[in-house]
Amino acid sequence: MKVAIMGYGTIGSGVAKVLDTNKDIIKERLGEALEIKYILDLREFPDDPHANCFVKDYKEIAKDKEIKLVVETMGGVEPAFTFVKAMLEAGKSVTTSNKALVADKGAELMKIAKDNDVNFVFEAAVGGGIPIIRTLTACLTGDVIEEIAAICNGTTNYMLTNMEQFGSEYAQILAEAQSLGYAEKDPTADVEGHDSCRKIAILTSLVAGKNVDYTEIPTEGISKISSTDFKYAKSMGYSIKLIAKSTKVGDTYSCRVAPFLVKPDQMLYHVSGVMNAVSVRGNMLGESMYYGAGAGALPTASAVVGDLVFLARNVDKHVRIGWANEKLELSNPSEQKYKYFVRTSALQSNIENEFEEVKYTDLDLDDETGFITAEMTESEFNERKTALGGVISVIRFY
């Protein structure tokens, strides 16, 4: 069976490597070989083992009836969307690793795939090498999913782990992560939580069966976390993790991406460095957690090739996943309830006036006090916080 790869960067070339390295076992499992016929890329790769496969026009692939399977590893929404749409409309199934495309256009592409009796799959778009998509859309379809909580960004988890271990400041650890190639030159998508936001939007769409608009998910990143926050966390026996969370509320879900304080008896506490983990609670299953490499060429390419085998086994037959284009109205985020850790320059008497029941966590620092609130809604917390004033930082308890 012939395959086309669109985009020959880190992931696309990783896909070729997985197909080449494991060709015999893939052939044995599938009953026929998966062979690369085209690679779409504007750059030249004269020394590549697949040098004779390169094309520059996606239409060449779209019109070739021999191609049934297409990999999209270009990244970004456009022109990936135009190319993927054209492939699906030409009767080809597509797998993508591109979370921006899936979060933005997933439901629409799913419908196009259904209308053309082909498949659109995206195992590699969330959690890289962790098979979380198929887990949710196949293995856990007997459950109502009550909660998903994910550390789904390796860059930020690496940075937070290092800040915790070495007491480094955010800017210093970001520079280090950039020099090691973990963080991008423009790190905004990772450090401000946008990447995690798209991933939890995709996972929530899949378990809800309706489309989550990722722009409606309240999202905070890690750029305001400091070494002092970690000192407080340590004194309380907690760690700080960037968590993308989705909780079932009635017929819908309540989502948030933010740094959370987690304690050692919570599984996500133990997820360190570049690793990712997705914790899922089902109404029958209870809690289960999926852990592994969330990024990197080969783990991500492994997920893409797993998708290719799935697509090859289901050629010309649309496999329903149940992700409708209909919008999911998310639950009001200001009604979410948390306990909050607050650092403020306000006087203790004012803290007690505004928040009544509090527990202090004192580091003996000049000019500031740390305290923990009782559980309350976001809207109530924000009112009290504004009335208090002098707030330096706030971190929610998970």
Taking CB under 6 A as the criterion, the residue among 12, 14, 154, 299 binding ligand HSE is: 154
Rounded least distance, CB 190 to ligand HSE, Å: 5
Give kind and range of the element (H or E) at residue 257.
strand 252-262
Nearest CA among 202, 218, 192 for reference residue 379: 218
Taking CB under 6 A as the criterion, the residue among 7, 129, 259, 294 binding ligand HSE is: 294
- Three-state SS across 374-394? CCEEHHHHHHHHHHHCCEEEE
Answer whether 313's CB lies under 8 Å from 30's CB. yes
Would you say the C-alpha torsion 160, 162, 168, 169 has a positive or negative sign? negative
Residue 62-101 contact track with ligand HSE, rule CB under 6 A, x = bound: ----------------------------------------
Binding of ligand HSE by 190 (CB under 6 A): yes
Rounded least distance, CB 304 to ligand HSE, Å: 13
Taking CB under 6 A as the criterion, the residue among 153, 204, 205, 254 binding ligand HSE is: 153
Distance CA 396, CA 212 (A): 23
Query: CA dist 260 to 241, 242, 343, 396, Å?
Result: 5, 6, 15, 5
Answer whether 230's CB lies under 8 Å from 240's CB. yes
Asked if omega into 79 is within 30° of 0 (cis), the reply is yes
Rounded least distance, CB 118 to ligand HSE, Å: 25
Q: Which residues of 308-338 are buried (b: 16+ CB within 10 A; e: fewer)?
A: bbbbbeeeeebbebebeeeebebbeeeebeb
> Is the CB of 220 or the CB of 354 nearer to ligand HSE?
220
Rounded least distance, CB 128 to ligand HSE, Å: 6
Binding of ligand HSE by 146 (CB under 6 A): no
Give the pair of three-digit tokens for residue 185: 């030159």
Query: CA dist 290 to 107, 234, 268, 316, Å?
Result: 25, 26, 10, 31
Segment near ligand HSE (CB under 6 A); pick from 32-40, 41-49, 142-150, 151-159: 151-159
Binding of ligand HSE by 336 (CB under 6 A): no
Rounded least distance, CB 182 to ligand HSE, Å: 7
DSSP H helical ranges for 296-375: 297-313, 348-355
Answer whether 123's CB lies under 8 Å from 133's CB. yes
Binding residues with ligand HSE: total (CB under 6 A): 8
Rounded least distance, CB 157 to ligand HSE, Å: 8
> Is the CB of 67 or the CB of 183 nearer to ligand HSE?
183
The footprint of ligand HSE on residues 191-220 (CB under 6 A) is: 195
Segment near ligand HSE (CB under 6 A); pick from 133-141, 153-161, 305-313, 333-341: 153-161
Instruction: Give the rounded distance of the alpha carbon of 300 from its chain centre.
Output: 13
Taking CB under 6 A as the criterion, the residue among 295, 312, 342, 358 binding ligand HSE is: 295
Distance CA 330, CA 47 (A): 50
Pairing assessment for the beta strands 93-96 and 67-72 based on DSSP bridges: parallel
Exactly one of 85, 199, 210, 385 is catalytic; name it: 199
Coil, strand or helix at 164: helix
> Is the CB of 131 or the CB of 154 nearer to ligand HSE?
154
Binding of ligand HSE by 155 (CB under 6 A): yes
Query: CA dist 161 to 46, 104, 168, 191, 205, Å?
Result: 41, 30, 10, 14, 29
- The label of the residue with tokens 């390419």 reads 301
Binding of ligand HSE by 174 (CB under 6 A): no
The footprint of ligand HSE on residues 224-283 (CB under 6 A) is: none
Residue 126-145 contact track with ligand HSE, rule CB under 6 A, x = bound: --x-----------------
Whether residue 199 lies in the annotated active site: yes
> Is the CB of 296 or the CB of 390 nearer to ligand HSE?
296
Segment near ligand HSE (CB under 6 A); pick from 6-14, 150-158, 325-333, 374-382: 150-158
> Is the CB of 198 or the CB of 384 nearer to ligand HSE?
198
Q: What residues line the site for ligand HSE (CB under 6 A)?
A: 128, 153-155, 190, 195, 294-295
Task: Just list the catalytic residues.
Answer: 199
